[in-house]
Structure 1
Amino acid sequence: MMTYDTFENDDSMIRVDTDWDLTKDKLLDRVDFRTGEILEEVEYETVEYKAEEYISEEDVKEYRRTTIAPELFTSKYQLDAYMEGVDKRKIVTFSRVKQAYGHDSFEHDINKKKKAYTAPMTKVLIKLIDGLVYRNIIIDTKKGLAKTLGVNEKNVMRTLKTAGWAIRVYTEKEGMKRGHIKVLIHPDLAFKHYSPKHTSCNVNTARSVCLNAWIKPSVSDLAKHTDWLIDPDNHVDDNYGQYIEDDLQENPDQYRQWVLRSRKEGIEDRNAMKEFLEAA
């Protein structure tokens, strides 16, 4: 343990104990803590920061290629150009549609729950997953999609509707270039991305981010749902606290408390009105 005087030629000298030998190791500057004066300056070497354990070369290349998210591409040409910088040897496809269909069938047959996956829907999803280009994206012409789905070109849009809630379809009406159709598959069912062996932002991480964006409600939807939550007439049981936990678990605690206070005020106003009417 080394001892150093922080103040020199001063009656109020303070001694500092440290494990470092400041005169030999040169790891810290010796500073007069009273005035801020550097008594013995150490020369520092400037080096480039590298976080190799977090950002791979593939990530850096991908970030430099474009500032537009692939999901926002409006033509097949954009996606093809983007994919030129993707090492397809390191790409893997995640798919759980078969497992989801099996579990859904079990819930329907055994627990009598409503089916979420029909056989025609699942068959279309499997064909679309086989045609995934990157992430949860397919961008192609109607002719190309007809080949992927194994149907006549004039039946492409009707066949895509069979997949229902599991996909989102964008045509010229939604901003796509003329003749191009974009299909996004629900990220929880299928995703194509770098293998966990080759990059920090792997298929699991990228799918999680994409899934959060997919299920994020719009501001108007959230406002309507909040109005429903704070209306006492919508909840006559004693499980309101569970409603808050289930429906607003991603929101800050302060927001939940605001919802609870708003509902309490609603109950008080309703009771006051009831008492007024009874008295009248």
Structure 2
Amino acid sequence: METSISSHPERGPWGNPRWRGNASGYFYKDLFEALGPKTFVDPMVGSGTSVEVAREMGIEAVGLDLHSGFNILRDSILEIVGRPADLVFSHPPYHDMIVYSGEVWGDEPHPDDLSRAGSVEEFADKLHQAVLNQRTATKPGGHYGVLIGDLRRQGRYYSFQAELIARLPTDELAAVLVKVQHNVSSNARNYRLRYPRIMHEYALLWRKQDRSTYQVIGAMAFPQKRRLEGTWRALVRQAMVEHGGEAALADLYRTLEEGAPERVRNNPHWKAKVRQVLQRHGDFRPLARGVWALAA
């Protein structure tokens, strides 16, 4: 995989061609050649494409899946496999774009099937948990990741790759690859679309550092806190811009109450937060008592 773009129109001889949502085996071949793992685990193996490619290349490979009894939301990958792997990579459902349990496999819906999640938010939470499970099963210095696509539904665009990047440690993110989609069923349909049809997926790769997943989850609180602080800074700055670059505190309060009611409602100390932002950041300077301006 010499570039960040992967495009393989043919799926190859691996796996079951009738299994919906299959990725090309050539994609996995490129991935394995680039990373050179000696051990590989796919905890959402589907019809087995990834594992077949790995074993053909002499890589020790384990395939797990909900349809064969492994539940990534309840079972430890590391405990099942017995030792951490060089690469733990999965191709999860893209929410309910393709529904698996009770449709592609099995007679009944499974409550922990990611494609049966009741909402996009529930799906994102479960996907996050699944990838953390993968991380735990990865050797320090090894790689974990997913092949994931985005979803457009009822006029909204949901970027699952952006959601995962935001939820996982930024200092472990190693690569974002764009994989071109070929031979998907929607290609045969005619749509009247305002925006381009989604014809790509993302392969996201993280390289695990030598720290526990619990430490990672705890550390994620600090970037989230910085993002929250940045949001308040942007809100105050925008309110200041709307007042021509300078405003009294009372005017800023009123503008924020009208323009960001949810943010105000969710923070009972929001006025103190506004004053803190004004005092701490070089974006703002005091003009007189209770009056602030954007710094030059």
- TM-score normalised over the length of structure 2: 0.28
- TM-score normalised over the length of structure 1: 0.29
> Based on CA coordinates, which of the two structures has the bigger radius of gyration?
1
